[in-house]
Amino acid sequence: MRRVKKAIIPAAGLGTRFLPATKAMPKEMLPVVDKPTIQYIVEEAVASGIEDIIIVTGRNKRSIEDHFDINHELEANLKGQRKEHLLKMVEDIANLADIHYVRQKQALGLGHAVWCARKFIGQEPFAVLLGDMIVDSEVPCLKQLLDVYEEKQAPVIAVDAVEWSDVSKYGVIDGEPAGEHLYRVKRLVEKPVADPPSNMAIIGRYVMDPQIFHILENLPAGIGGEIQLTDALQQWTQRHPIYARLIEGKLYDVGDKMGFLKATVELACKDDALRVPFRLFLRQMAAEGGETP
C-alpha cells in the first residue's frame, strides 16, 4: 500500500474576481479573520498527514513564500517585547511543513499547474488542494479522502452538493453509490452550461496517481483555452476507477466574494477571542436594520 505524503497547492491564479485588492496582493494571502486563506489549506494538509508540499506560484506571489519563511527581525522584535504568544504563532507558521515552490510560467489552467509539479511528485501518489476552498470540519477534508484512498487504492475527489443554479461554476460528477458518502465516478464534466449530470460539485480536493501526468502532458485545451484537470480525470475513468467522497463539513468558496464574506463572518463567530463581541455587533447591526440594503 502506497501512502500519500506529498501535496500540490496551485496558487498561480490572477485573482481577478477580487480586484483591485489583488492588484498587488495574491488572492491566496487575503485574510479570513486573522489568517491568509492559503494557511488554512496548508494546515489542512499537515493535519491530514502530508509531509511535503509544493506550491505552484506565478508572478507577484513572493509574499506567499515570505509568509511561510522565517522572519528573523519580526521574531527578535516579539521576543524583545516578551510577546511570547505571538512569537510562538509566527514560529509555528515557519515550521508547519517542508514547503517547496515552482512557478507556472504561463496561465494555462489548473491541469497545467498540477503538471508543473510533476518532477517534485515523481512516481508517488499525491494530493491536490485548491487555495480558494476552505472546509471547516471535524475531520480534515483531505483526511476524509485519504481514508478512502487507503481502502480503494484508487484516485479520490471531494464533492459537495451545491445549488443547481451554481452548477455551471464547478466541475461536476455523474456517479453511482459505492458506500456511505461515496460514489464510483462514471463521468466528469467541467462547468456544464446545460444538462448537468448532477449537482455534486468537485470542490478542490483530490488524491491522484502519478500516471495522471502522462494524460496531462498530451491533453488538448478545454474550456477557456486551458488544460483542465477535470478533462484529464475524465480520460482516467475510461480505463481506471475514480471515487468521489461527499465531504462532511462546511464548505466556503473563498474565491467568490459572497463565499469569502460568509467564511469571514462564520469563522469569526467561532473564534474564542471574537465570538462574544462579534456576535453582539451582528445583533446590534441587525436590530438597526443593517441586514437589508
In a domain, 215, yes or no: yes
CA distance 64 to 56: 11
125 against 288, higher pLDDT: 125
* CA neighbor of 93 nearest in space, from 56, 40, 131, 134: 40
Is there a domain that residue 268 lies in?
yes
**Alpha-carbon distance values, 17 to 26, 39, 144, 259 (Å):** 12, 20, 30, 12
Q: Model confidence over 254-280: pLDDT tens digits?
A: 988 999 999 999 999 999 999 999 999
Q: Does residue 292 sit within a domain?
A: no
Q: Is residue 13 very low, low, confident or very high in pLDDT (cuts 50, 70, 90)?
A: confident
- What is the total count of domains within the chain? 1
- pLDDT value, residue 61: 86
pLDDT in tens, 187-246: 988 888 888 889 999 999 999 999 999 999 988 877 777 888 988 998 999 889 999 999
Of 35 and 227, the one with more pLDDT: 35
Alpha helices, DSSP H, located in the chain:
37-47, 62-67, 72-80, 84-94, 110-115, 118-121, 141-152, 212-217, 229-237, 257-270, 275-287
Q: What pLDDT, on a 0 to 100 scale, did the predictor assign at position 290? A: 54
Residue 7 has pLDDT above 70, yes or no: yes
Q: What percent of the chain has pLDDT over 90?
A: 67
Q: Which residue segment(s) compose the domain that 31 sits in?
A: 6-274
Instruction: Tell me which residue has cell 505524503.
Output: 5
In a domain, 293, yes or no: no
Q: What is the pLDDT of residue 1?
A: 66
Examine residue 52 and state whether it is found in any structural domain, yes or no. Answer: yes
Distance of CA 59 to the CA centre of its chain: 20
Q: Would you say residue 283 lies in a domain?
A: no
Q: Is residue 22 part of a domain?
A: yes
CATH number of domain containing 170: 3.90.550.10
Q: What is the mean pLDDT of the chain?
A: 90
Residue 279 counted as domain residue: no
How far, in Å, CA of 95 to CA of 5, rounded?
A: 17
pTM over 0.75, yes/no: yes
Give residue 291's pLDDT band: very low, low, confident or very high (50, 70, 90): low
Angle value at C-alpha 28, between 290 and 117, nearest 5 degrees: 155
